[in-house]
């Protein structure tokens, strides 16, 4: 299915298929600007659309470059580009959408696209596990919490998003840093390293990523990690129950703002997480 394509010599210079660093830099800059515009802020909708458009263009150019390099040809490559595009575009929407619920939904889309990429990489079981766990459990939890964490009296808040949702925090600095890092990583990937050849050929050919094979592998060579993962999960369950189960004292009224320190009776200091006022946080003689 996958054709054999020319491998690179691996020299960290501008070899035949490498993307010139200058181009990477330029693309990063444009993409950065686009991202800044696309993030929630006090601009008009049209500006955001322009930003989104810029990002789209950049991705297309990048893809075109890669295709021009002759990296991937053939029908199977369509799926790669499809899933990659969906994943990336959904991710952008996750971070740039005003309303948190929509962010969660777009995240769901990202997960599905990633699962598709997994399938292309012969990891069917992982794809299934991804969809199960993320889409099934984690996203659901997120949506529940979004529903929970609403201010009283504002039923539509979750879909609307608060004031803090509409304005992003230092977008320029964040994008600059983020794109710098991304550019560096891409630079490294494309221009600086040569990968060691496949250490061993896939055993058993096509059926590599099946549940049976993965299970065998896990339980023979990764047993300890597996057990530890199980313990971590158990701990997380216990921890989540404990954390979520605590009762939080209401923030005290303006008494603390105006009163003297001496007005506070030490016996009345509430214990963190309880409504009980009499109990002290430390034992008294």
Partner 1 sequence: MAMSEAVLRQYLAVGAILFAIGLIGFMTRRNLIVLFLSTEVMFQGVAVNFIAFGRYHGSLEGQAFVIFLLVIAAAEAALALGLIVQLFRRRHTLDAESWRELKG
Partner 2 sequence: MEQLFAVKYSYLIPLLPLLGAVAAGFLGARWLKDRAHWAIWITVGGSAALSLALLTGMIRHVPAEVRERAHIESSGAIDAGESLSDSAQMAYAFRVSASKHVYTWLEAGKFKAEVGFFLDPLTAVMLCIVTGIGLLIAIYSKGYMAGERGYFRFFAYVGLFIFAMTVLVMADNFLLLYLGWEGVGLCSYLLIGHDYERPAAREAAKKAFLVNRVGDCGFALGIMLMYVTFGTVSYYGNPRNPVEYGVLIQAATNVSLSPWQQSAAQWIPFLLILGAIGKSAQFPLHVWLPDAMEGPTPVSALIHAATMVTAGVYMIVRCGTLFVGNGPATMTVAAVGVFTALFAATIAMRQFDLKRVFAYSTISQLGYMFAAAGVLAPVPAIFHLLTHAFFKALLFLSCGLVMHATMGELDLRKLSGLKRVLPWTNRLMLVGCMALAGVPFVSAGFFSKDQIIAAAWYQNKLFGLALLVAAFLTAYYTFRVYFRVFQGPTVLPHGAETHGQGDQQHGRREPAVMILPLVVLAVGAILAGYLNWPERQASLGRFLGQSPSLCLSHTLASRYGVDVPPVPFGVEEDPDKKVRDAMNVLHTNMMVASGLIAALGIYVAYLFHRKYRARSEELAMRFPSLNRMLERKYWVDEVYQGAIVEPLRRLGRAFNLADRFVIDGIVRAVSLTPQIGGFALKLTTQRGSLQGYAVLMLLGIAAILLIVLW
Residues that bind partner 2 (CB under 8 A): 169-170, 173-174, 177-178, 180-181, 184, 187-188, 192
Choose the one of partner 1, partner 2, none that binds residue 111, judging by a C-beta under 5 to 8 angstroms depending on kind: partner 1
Given the complex with partner 1, which of 132 and 267 has the nearer CB atom?
A: 132
By the rule CB under 8 A, 251 interacts with partner 1: yes
b/e burial code for range 259-270 (CB count within 10 A of at least 16 → b): eeeeeeeeeeeb
d(CA 55, CA 96): 12
Q: Got the DSSP string for 246-260?
A: PPPPPPP-THHHHS-
Question: What are the backbone angles phi and psi of residue 122, rounded to the nearest 5°?
Answer: 65, 30
Considering only residues 189 to 248 of the shown chain, the ones binding partner 1 according to CB under 8 A are 189-190, 194-195, 198-203, 208-209, 213-214, 217-218, 222, 225, 229, 232-233, 235-237, 239-240, 243-244, 246, 248
CB contact set of 266 (below 8 Å; sequence gap of 6+): 280
**Binding footprint of partner 1, residue count (CB under 8 A):** 102
By the rule CB under 8 A, 15 interacts with partner 1: no
Of the listed pieces 44-52, 183-191, 257-265, 277-285, which binds partner 1 according to CB under 8 A?
183-191
> Least separation, in Å, of the C-beta of 183 and partner 1?
9
d(CA 110, CA 82): 12
Residue appearing with tokens 């990937």: 189
> Least separation, in Å, of the C-beta of 155 and partner 1?
15
> Least separation, in Å, of the C-beta of 259 and partner 1?
21
Given the complex with partner 2, which of 86 and 186 has the nearer CB atom?
A: 186
To the nearest 10 degrees (0 to 180), the angle between helices 223-245 and 211-221 is: 90
């Amino acid at each position: 299915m996958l054709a054999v394509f020319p491998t690179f010599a691996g020299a960290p210079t501008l070899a035949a298929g490498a993307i010139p660093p200058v181009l990477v830099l330029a693309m990063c800059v444009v993409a950065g600007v686009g991202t800044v515009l696309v993030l929630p802020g006090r601009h008009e909708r049209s500006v955001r659309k322009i930003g989104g458009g810029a990002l789209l263009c950049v991705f297309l150019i990048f893809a075109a470059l890669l295709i021009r390099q002759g990296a991937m040809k053939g029908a199977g490559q369509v799926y790669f580009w499809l899933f990659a595009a969906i994943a990336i575009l959904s991710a952008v929407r996750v971070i740039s959408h005003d309303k948190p619920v929509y962010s969660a939904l777009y995240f769901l889309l990202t997960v599905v696209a990633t699962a598709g990429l997994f399938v292309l990489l012969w990891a069917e079981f992982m794809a299934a596990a991804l969809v199960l766990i993320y889409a099934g459990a984690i996203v659901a939890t997120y949506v529940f919490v979004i529903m929970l964490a609403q201010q009283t009296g504002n039923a539509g808040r979750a879909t609307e998003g608060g004031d803090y949702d509409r304005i992003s925090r230092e977008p320029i600095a964040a994008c600059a840093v983020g794109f710098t890092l991304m550019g560096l990583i891409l630079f490294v990937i494309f221009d600086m390293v040569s990968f060691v050849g496949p250490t061993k050929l896939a055993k058993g050919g096509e059926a590599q990523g099946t549940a049976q094979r993965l299970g065998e592998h896990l339980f023979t060579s990764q047993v300890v990690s597996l057990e530890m993962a199980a313990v971590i999960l158990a701990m997380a369950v216990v921890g989540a129950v404990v954390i979520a189960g605590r009762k939080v004292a209401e923030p005290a009224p303006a008494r603390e703002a105006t009163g003297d320190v001496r007005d506070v009776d030490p016996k009345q200091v509430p214990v963190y997480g309880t409504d009980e006022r009499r109990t002290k946080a430390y034992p008294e003689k």
